[in-house]
Amino acid sequence: MTLRVEDLAVARGGVPILSGLSFSLRPGTALALRGPNGAGKTTLLRTLAGLQPPLAGQIHGAGEAIAYAGHADGLKAMLSVTENLTFWADVFGTSDIAPAMDAYDLHGLADRPAGTLSAGQKRRLGLARLLVTGRAIWALDEPTVSLDTQARSLFADSLSAHLQRGGSAVVATHIDVGLTLEELDIARYRAAPDLRAGASDEAFL
Amino acid sequence: MKALLLRDLRLAVRAGGGFGLGLAFFLIVTVLVPFAVGPDPALLSRIAPGVLWLGALLACLLSLDRLLALDHEDGTLDLLATAPLPLEGALGIKAFAHWITTGLPLVAAAPVLGLMLNLSVSGYAVLVGALLLGTPALSTIGLFGAALTVGVRRGGLLLSLLVLPLYVPTLIFGAEAARRAATGQEAATPLLMLAGLTLATLALMPFASAAVLRMGLR
Amino acid sequence: MSLWEYANPVRFLRLSAKAQPVLWVAAGLSLSLGLLWGFFGTPDDMRQGSTVKIIYLHVPAALMAINAWFMMLVASLIWLIRRHHVSALAAKAAAPVGLMMTLIALVTGAIWGQPMWGTWWAWDPRLTSFLILFLFYLGYIALWSAIDDPDTAADFTSVLCLVGSVFAVLSRYAVKFWNQGLHQGTSVPVATGGRTISDVFFYPLVLSMVGFGLLFIALVFLRTGTEIRQRRTRALLARARRGG
């Protein structure tokens, strides 16, 4: 499914930060969002995932097709790796967690409570969750944070396998993930200071 | 949905999950009452229904700030909001899990504590029935309070402030039913009111809570 | 020309600036006239003596305590449905005024209750209902101040106001069920159109009720204006920061 974004504007805390953003993402492609801290990468991803409404513009093809992975992995410290993953598989209506365990080399950790994992291991589990959602479009916010080189290559493999299966991804990242991705510099879409359309503070200016 | 229910139950009984804390709190509050008001059996017998209801209500209140706050902190709520499960359903299930781990043990413990407070024999059945009917309302109303305070730092106190006035009708009808039964009056009217109240909160609160949570996530 | 034009903060401020002097003068006149007439111009009650005169504070304050919540309910609905900022801010502005009205009603009730019922406080249904209303006001104000983002705060408090209204009505009936009470019947039963007190007491009472109403409106205008200016300052600062 193609993700199409038309003339999108997003706001953070009532202040518009991005405007006039348009792109489309065909199956099998991935888009890297670039931009300095605070440029609005997280806000854009949350808007794409449907967690917050856009200020203006349209998003087509996201909805139930998108899986979001933010800074927090949604893991329960007291549940084991298998239990965490099985839970998300059940919620998203898929059942087989083995491919996800394989992809991120989690079999050795299967019975460890998630609370005892290192930061990088938690991240691997969080990324494995994307595989059990069975969704076509991934919205990833800094996926490689706290991953070592080996884990980073696991991520790159998993992402390229996802793209080969006809999936797609929007990735906000500062560092090279080890794949050649299309790039989108969102700093160019920074909302002009005098942009007023739709922002909640607009009425007061 | 079943997965969410099982997960919440499993989390509650694992170490550090807080299962039993509400029960222990209920026990301690009730046991402290005779120290505060004196050991006179007639007096204890008279106030027993009210004390048991108040203890159950406070024990329930105590565990509310874990209902959504933990899931908010670790990002689970964001992920649940993007899952195919409707958020209303997910929240309803969470309130149900809260009731099973908090409300139900209180209902089971109430007769034993009633014994210690010299509750009159005619009161037990109605007391248990009233708690069984009323505690689900405490959980669903609490869900709404938890949704309102989910993003607030140290929202526990605010949660109590918001939820306590909402608990008034439940407390009145629940305790009134138990009191009437203990003094040999008919208790059908308050029990029916209580049941109606619980059904109404079951039907409405998940929707109100989901609406609030969606507003808060953005 | 529709009412919704005043949903624009600037238009609202302009209207408020024009209306406020009139409101303050009218409120001051009717309040002082009503209270003075009530205190000095009416005879003592046969049974209650001069204590009855606290009615000129107690009844209007109680009336406004409920009407303020009702106004907040309507304003919250307008915010949730049409998202007019002035409406949300007016609800926020009305809450502390309503809280004070409730407090006045409770305190004057206690002062009146002492000689009449022989006790400062009784768990009478009406008193109890006002106490619950007081708690609702407290929760509502606390929620406003706990959330940083003004729009989210407006959303949350509006839903709380809606749900709270349902529970306030429920509590009212629950409390009636729980205790039949000492409180005398309502002084001015609107529904039946009749009244339970004689004309000498009635006219100054109506005048103080009008005065309390006008005072409430004037205070809400004033406080809403302050809230609007605060939001405007915030918005201007945010824009200045973005402009660099």
| pLDDT for B92 | 94
Residue in chain C nearest B164 by alpha carbon: C135
| pLDDT for C27 | 94
Percent of chain C whose predicted confidence (pLDDT) is above 90: 48
Dist. CA C240–CA A194, nearest whole Å: 10
Chain A contacts of C231, Cβ < 8 Å? 201, 204
| C42 within a domain of the structure (yes/no) | no
| pLDDT for C120 | 81
How many other C-beta atoms are found inside a 10 Å radius of the C-beta of residue C142?
Answer: 16
What is the number of structural domains in chain C? 1
Average pLDDT over residues C234-241: 79
Q: Counting beta carbons within 10 angstroms of the beta carbon of residue C232, is it exposed (0 to 12), middle (13 to 18) or buried (19 or more)?
A: middle
Q: Is C141 helix (H, G, I), strand (E, B) or coil?
A: helix
Helix (H) or strand (E) holding A171: strand A168-172
Q: Say whether pLDDT at B106 is over 70.
A: yes
Better-predicted residue by pLDDT, B58 or B151: B58
| C98 within a domain of the structure (yes/no) | yes
C142 vs B: CB within 8 A = yes
Average pLDDT over residues C186-194: 53
Q: Is B39 helix (H, G, I), strand (E, B) or coil?
A: coil
In Å, what is the CA distance from C82 to each residue of B53, B166, C62, C78, C86? 42, 27, 30, 6, 11
| C232 within a domain of the structure (yes/no) | yes
Q: What are phi and psi of A33, to 5 degrees?
A: -85, 125
Average pLDDT over residues B119-139: 93
Taking one residue from A and the other from C, the number of pairs with CB-CB distance under 8 angstroms is 38
| C221 within a domain of the structure (yes/no) | yes
CB contact under 8 A, C159 and B211: yes
Q: Counting beta carbons within 10 angstroms of the beta carbon of residue C24, is it exposed (0 to 12), middle (13 to 18) or buried (19 or more)?
A: middle
A146-150, B161-165, C52-56, C127-131: segment of lowest average pLDDT: C52-56
In Å, what is the CA distance from A175 to each residue of A142, A153, B4? 9, 13, 35
Listing DSSP states for A96-129 in one string gives --HHHHHHTT-GGGTTSBGGGS-HHHHHHHHHHH
Q: Say whether pLDDT at B132 is over 70.
A: yes
Domain of residue C210: give its range: 60-243
Better-predicted residue by pLDDT, B46 or A62: B46
Q: Is B191 helix (H, G, I), strand (E, B) or coil?
A: helix
Q: Is A137 helix (H, G, I), strand (E, B) or coil?
A: strand
Dist. CA B204–CA C35, nearest whole Å: 45
Question: Of chain C residues 138-157, which have a CB less than 8 A from chain A?
Answer: 149-151
Q: Say whether pLDDT at B1 is over 80.
A: no
Q: Say whether pLDDT at A179 is over 80.
A: no
CB contact under 8 A, A91 and B74: no
Give chains near A: 3+ CB pairs under 8 A: B, C
Chain A contacts of C232, Cβ < 8 Å? 204-205
Q: Say whether pLDDT at B11 is over 90.
A: no
Average pLDDT over residues A171-183: 78
Dist. CA B150–CA C143, nearest whole Å: 12
| pLDDT for B84 | 87
| pLDDT for B174 | 93
| pLDDT for C235 | 80
Chain C contacts of A204, Cβ < 8 Å? 9, 85, 228, 231-232, 234-236
CB neighbour list of residue B190: distance below 8 Å, 6 or more residues apart: B130, B173, B174, B176, B177, B180, C177
Average pLDDT over residues C224-237: 89
Residue in chain A nearest B72 by alpha carbon: A74
Of the partner residues C136, C146, C174, the one whose CB lies closest to the CB of residue B172 = C174
| C29 within a domain of the structure (yes/no) | no
Dihedral-angle region of residue B9 (phi above 0 means left; psi in -120 to 50 means alpha; beta otherwise): alpha
Residue in chain B nearest A48 by alpha carbon: B82
What's the token pair of residue C180?
Answer: 């039949």
pLDDT band at B53 (very low <50, low <70, confident <90, very high): very high
Q: Say whether pLDDT at A194 is over 90.
A: no
Dist. CA B4–CA B95, nearest whole Å: 11
The model's pLDDT over C76-87, given as tens digits with 9 standing for 90+, comes to 999 999 888 899
Q: How far is CA A68 from the centre of its chain?
A: 4
pLDDT band at C94 (very low <50, low <70, confident <90, very high): very high
Chain A contacts of B16, Cβ < 8 Å? 78
Q: Say whether pLDDT at C243 is over 70.
A: no
How many Å lie between the alpha carbon of C148 and the closest alpha carbon of chain B? 9
Chain A contacts of C228, Cβ < 8 Å? 204
Q: Which of A16, B176, A23, B110 is nearest to C179 (CA)?
A: B176
Question: Of chain C residues 55-114, which have a CB less than 8 A from chain A?
Answer: 85
Q: Which of A93, A97, A164 is nearest to A131 (CA)?
A: A97
A68, A45 Cβ separation under 8 angstroms? yes
CB neighbour list of residue C227: distance below 8 Å, 6 or more residues apart: C89, C92, C93
Dist. CA A168–CA A177, nearest whole Å: 15
Give chains near C: 3+ CB pairs under 8 A: A, B
Q: Say whether pLDDT at B100 is over 80.
A: yes
Dist. CA B116–CA B30, nearest whole Å: 9
State chain C's mean pLDDT as an integer: 85
CB contact under 8 A, C242 and A205: no
**Helices B156-182 & B124-148, crossing angle to 10 degrees?**
160
CB contact under 8 A, C149 and A14: yes
| C161 within a domain of the structure (yes/no) | yes
Q: What are phi and psi of A37, to 5 degrees?
A: -55, 140
C152 vs B: CB within 8 A = yes
| C181 within a domain of the structure (yes/no) | yes
Q: Say whether pLDDT at B45 is over 50.
A: yes
| pLDDT for B107 | 93
| pLDDT for A97 | 87
| pLDDT for B2 | 81
Half-sphere exposure at residue B13, Cβ-oriented, CA atoms within 13 angstroms: 9
Of the partner residues C151, C235, C242, the one whose CB lies closest to the CB of residue A193 = C242
Of the partner residues C228, C242, C244, the one whose CB lies closest to the CB of residue A204 = C228
| pLDDT for A128 | 92
Give this complex's ipTM.
0.89
Q: Say whether pLDDT at B198 is over 50.
A: yes
Residue in chain B nearest A63 by alpha carbon: B82
Q: Is A60 helix (H, G, I), strand (E, B) or coil?
A: strand
B166 vs C: CB within 8 A = yes
Chain C contacts of A203, Cβ < 8 Å? 8-9, 85
Q: Which of B142, B163, B140, B143 is nearest to B213 (CA)?
A: B143
CB contact under 8 A, B218 and A52: yes
Average pLDDT over residues B8-20: 78
Residue of C167, C169, C172, C175 best to disrupt the B interface, most CBs of B under 10 A: C167
The model's pLDDT over A57-110, given as tens digits with 9 standing for 90+, comes to 889 888 788 999 988 888 888 889 999 999 999 988 887 888 888 888 888 888
| pLDDT for B16 | 67
pTM of the model: 0.89
pLDDT band at C202 (very low <50, low <70, confident <90, very high): confident
| pLDDT for C183 | 63
A49 vs B: CB within 8 A = yes
Q: Which of A104, A138, A135 is nearest to A122 (CA)?
A: A104
Q: Say whether pLDDT at B201 is over 70.
A: yes
CB contact under 8 A, C8 and A203: yes
A94-98, A120-124, B207-211: segment of lowest average pLDDT: A94-98
B1 vs C: CB within 8 A = no
Chain A contacts of B78, Cβ < 8 Å? 46, 51, 68, 70, 72, 74
How many other C-beta atoms are found inside a 10 Å radius of the C-beta of residue C185?
Answer: 6
The model's pLDDT over A141-155, given as tens digits with 9 standing for 90+, comes to 988 888 888 888 899
pLDDT band at B26 (very low <50, low <70, confident <90, very high): very high
| pLDDT for C191 | 47
